[in-house]
A and B are shown apart, each in its own frame.
Chain A
């Protein structure tokens, strides 16, 4: 029996840690980490078959953060699970740190692959998923993409490939927070109809509220949605979710919270459910 309460508490801790990390590092992309925090909490809290004591366990599920700029959230959840000490988070992005500002696997247990340039995760995920099938392995491959990342053509090469090869052990989750670097998705490069695009490419697709734990869990435990098809979950999210003054604000794609903003953000999160 999965306790949603525990997953919610994990999501809350991820948000708090993310904001502290980004503040300390004076780095960017806090809002991108916040929009995917609930997805990460459900994935790592109760879906992914991973073992922090054996990060290289051959049958583990593979999780690829293709939106590598959201790394603070992933580092935080890996530390929460015990892949490495929580103290590593303290010097995120600092000189001599293990944790770089885009997700980096070197010397960091639990990180499958390094990304940072967009459009790399899904092709690598295809390779892992195909190898899993050819080798008769049980693992699945989960890839988390940003919405802006869907501008990259390499994703659509991979989308064709995964459907053609019936990779029903491959899951793409789109963190659809509707805001990119310089504008909204609608302003920069329209993606709609996004679900229809993935469907047309041969994927089983579901749209969910990416902050509704029940919906996230239901989707992630119903895979594959259609036999022999790769799975796409379009998670409608709110950029900066959880901190009122960051939510749906373009500036928080890059802005780093100052002391006052950190205090206000933490105050909001501490009292949140």
Chain B
């Protein structure tokens, strides 16, 4: 996703001189080509995220479209108040890019696990929150946030995520993409668990369940229509995210379902419980430890599937 992002941004920057990329002394091996091609549209702010974010707001107030780029929680939580006050309150045209959503930097330890970012960014007034599910979505999301003047948060994976969508898939901020149609249950995922969701749908098909798969790349504004349609048309809803179950995609979908009133549908949030990982390991290892591997998910879904079948 990282490579897709920088490739698309370079393409856009060529034609739109307002686009400026500010990195917080991170992006080795990724951002150099952009810096060389567009020296007047690039800036390394150093290891100083508060200043980086304030600078981004200031440049945006001068008419630029500014991307801040760092990894994990550094461009969000480290400078949260700058994001809230300088960016959101001024409705500054700033796009915050975090590489390494969830456990992408798994073995680097707790500091590098971005596992509450969606919830926190989602509460900020005016902020659009996007977690692309594959490199195709990362490309399209980058284009979409440039065409939209609101502040936005782009939560990317890292490298090597499988491509799920065919080229040319239709992408719109705030509109879920239906990856699979199905009537029995709906899997709603955000970010890199999209591929797992599709695999899960395949496995469920083998045991007789027809699963709808929604890629909810935009966590805010949430596609409430897609959620409500799933509640009406299918018999269970499961959310999947590499993020705390508090306040992210699962929380957002739960809010919609709870307020919908008449809709009573079995519902399960799959994600991370609210404790710091006691484990050391790769992204795949940590996901498995938290029950987010394919087998782990199937195990935890059994009660929901039983309920949906009754």
Q: Are B56 and A153 in contact (CB under 8 A)?
A: no
Which size class do A's interface residues fall under? 20 to 34
Chain A positions within 8 Å of B55 at CB level: 123-124, 126-127, 130, 158, 161
Q: Are B59 and A123 in contact (CB under 8 A)?
A: no
Q: Which of B54, B81, B90 has the most CB of A within 10 A?
A: B54
Q: Which of A105, A117, A134 has the most CB of B within 10 A?
A: A134
Contact with A along B76-117 (1 / 0, CB 8 A): 000001100110011000000000000000000000000000
Chain A positions within 8 Å of B56 at CB level: 127
Partner of B81, one of A117, A137, A158, A160: A117
Determine how close the nearest CB of chain A comes to the CB of B92; give it in whole angstroms.
9
Let me know if A217 is at the binding interface, CB within 8 A. Answer: no
Specify the chain A residue showing the minimal Cβ separation from B84: A117
A128 to B89, CA, bound (A): 17
Q: Are B58 and A120 in contact (CB under 8 A)?
A: no
Determine how close the nearest CB of chain B comes to the CB of A9; give it in whole angstroms.
33
A192 to B208, CA, bound (A): 74
Partner of B58, one of A117, A126, A157, A160: A126
Give the secondary structure class of B's interface: helix
Q: Are B48 and A124 in contact (CB under 8 A)?
A: no
Specify the chain A residue showing the minimal Cβ separation from B40: A134
Let me know if B186 is at the binding interface, CB within 8 A. Answer: no
Chain A positions within 8 Å of B50 at CB level: 119, 123, 153-154, 157
Specify the chain A residue showing the minimal Cβ separation from B50: A154
A128 to B60, CA, bound (A): 8
Determine how close the nearest CB of chain B comes to the CB of A160; give it in whole angstroms.
7
Chain B positions within 8 Å of A27 at CB level: none
Q: Are A120 and B40 in contact (CB under 8 A)?
A: no
Determine how close the nearest CB of chain B comes to the CB of A39; give it in whole angstroms.
22
Partner of A123, one of B60, B63, B82, B90: B82
A124 to B289, CA, bound (A): 42
Q: Are B53 and A130 in contact (CB under 8 A)?
A: no
Please judge, given known A-B contacts A154-B51, A161-B45, A161-B48, whether A114 and B90 are in contact too, CB under 8 Å.
yes
Determine how close the nearest CB of chain B comes to the CB of A115; give it in whole angstroms.
8
Chain B positions within 8 Å of A110 at CB level: none
Specify the chain A residue showing the minimal Cβ separation from B56: A127
Let me know if B64 is at the binding interface, CB within 8 A. Answer: yes
Partner of B43, one of A125, A130, A157: A130
A114 to B85, CA, bound (A): 8
Task: Enumerate B28-48 residues with CB–CB distance to A below 8 Å.
Answer: 40, 43, 45-46, 48
Chain A positions within 8 Å of B89 at CB level: 114
A153 to B48, CA, bound (A): 10
| Interface residues of B, Cβ cutoff 8 Å to A | 40, 43, 45-46, 48, 50-64, 81-82, 85-86, 89-90
List 5 A-B pairs, Cβ < 8 Å: A123-B54, A123-B58, A124-B55, A126-B58, A127-B60
